[in-house]
Amino acid sequence: MHGLSVPLARQGTSYGTLLAVRTGAAFTDHEAAALHFAARVAAVHLRHARRLAATERVALNLQRALVADPGRPHPNLLIAGRYLPVGPSALVGGDWFETVRLHFGRTLLVVGDVMGHGLDAAVDMNAYRSTLREVASTELAPHRVLRQLDALVAEDAARRPATCLLARVDPARGTALFASAGHLPPAVFAADGTGRLLDVPVGPPLGTGLGGYESAAHPLTHEETLVLYTDGLVERRGEDIDDSLARLTALRLPAPASAAEAVDAVVAGLDARHAEDDVAVLTARIRSRPAHP
């Protein structure tokens, strides 16, 4: 039996040893050269794989840290959120959600999805989120927030486009004002657990500089649960988007469901843990006021 060991090394870093063993004749010079070449190629790929894995970890940790720390809504609004990366071996995307506390007991809810994957998408997501917080603090209507955000992002040619959905919830009036930049529509689940989609005018994704956003108001009672989400929750390869959305509204949430229970039911009902893209879900319920004696 004859053996030949070749180090797997690249630019001073060792990744192990390639060991070839066989019975019979010893390895020829030509075969030894082929093994050394294979070891060099393997070392290059191992080096790239480790760099990619490190980038994935940085992007995922950044995304989780950012999404896990949304702003605080008013106490009159109960919220729950969930972020699920598509898988341990895939680069995370730019899915995110946010809450911004406004005056007069109102709260702005936000979900967004930066196009693409990887560390650049996660960094752009953070830039969108920071800019939106600043613009939203001016108390503009949702469609005007999108208009300003779109104009600011369009000035930076390196910034990736993104979809975004805003919902300004006013618990005192029992209403929510929505505006969409290329995003899928929100869903509302009634007290009996049945769901429906809300009709919201859809403008172009952020970053185009085209503007053209509109707001739409819908009633929202304390018995209803509002669900905002990114496309990874519902979209499936080869499936029509109307069928995808129908699967969402066909869910039956437990009644009565808290905001956290609603997130769990949506994630489980649509098997979001096995989705083909990153998933971000944000649910909200107006806190019911205790009845006065």
Q: What is the mean pLDDT of residues 152-160?
A: 83
At residue 290, does pLDDT exceed 60?
Answer: no
Residue 127 has pLDDT above 60, yes or no: yes
Number of helices (H), then strands (E), in the chain: 5, 13
User: CA 135 to CA 152: how far, in whole Å?
Assistant: 10
How many CA atoms lie within 13 Å of 226's alpha carbon, on the beta-carbon side? 34
Q: Is it the case that residue 277 has pLDDT exceeding 80?
A: yes
Percentage of the chain lying above the pLDDT 90 cut: 45
Predicted pLDDT at 286:
94
Contact 150, 158 (CB under 8 A): no
The pLDDT score that the predictor gives to residue 89 is 45
Look at the alpha carbons of 277, 87, 133, 228 in this order and tell me if their dihedral is positive or negative: positive
Q: How would residue 60 be classed by pLDDT, with cut points 50, 70 and 90?
A: low
Q: Give the whole-number percent of the chain exceeding pLDDT 70.
A: 89
Tokens read off for 61: 């940790």
176 φ, ψ to 5°? -140, 135
- Would you say residue 93 has pLDDT above 70? no
pLDDT of res. 221: 94
pLDDT of residue 227: 97
Higher pLDDT, 243 or 124: 243
Average pLDDT over the chain, rounded to whole? 86
- pLDDT tier, 58 (very low <50, low <70, confident <90, very high otherwise): low
pLDDT digits (tens, 9 = 90+) for 229-254: 999 999 988 889 999 999 999 999 98
- pLDDT at 31 exceeding the cut of 80: yes
Between 1-5, 103-107, 198-202, 221-225, the lowest mean confidence (pLDDT) is in 1-5
**pLDDT above 60: residue 63:** no
Lowest mean pLDDT, pick from 55-64, 109-118, 144-153? 55-64
**What pTM did the predictor assign?**
0.76
Phi-psi category of residue 258: left, alpha or beta, with phi > 0 → left and psi -120 to 50 → alpha: beta
